[in-house]
Amino acid sequence: MNDEKQKRAAETGERVGRKIGEVVGQLEKETERLIQYINAEVVPAVRQESTVGLRKAAQKLAEFADYLDDQRRKQGK
């Protein structure tokens, strides 16, 4: 009887181990797919938005510099 319990426990442990192995394999595949998606879709979009944002900021800074120049000219008159 004790041998039967040990045998069932060992079989259960093996099944659980196989199932964990399957899950780990699936997680590795999904992680790789996620990394590929991020690299292919997210990173380029962020870079594009970053450059657009930088260009807008540069434009606003140029406008502000022009404003400051105009204010200084007005005070000089």
b/e 26-52 (16+ beta carbons within 10 angstroms → b): eeeeeeeeeeeeeeeeeeeeeeeeeee
Q: How many CA atoms lie within 13 A of 27 on its CB side?
A: 6
Give the pTM.
0.57
- By residue count, the chain amounts to 77
Residue 3 has pLDDT above 90, yes or no: no
Residue 37: the pLDDT is 95
Average pLDDT, the chain: 91
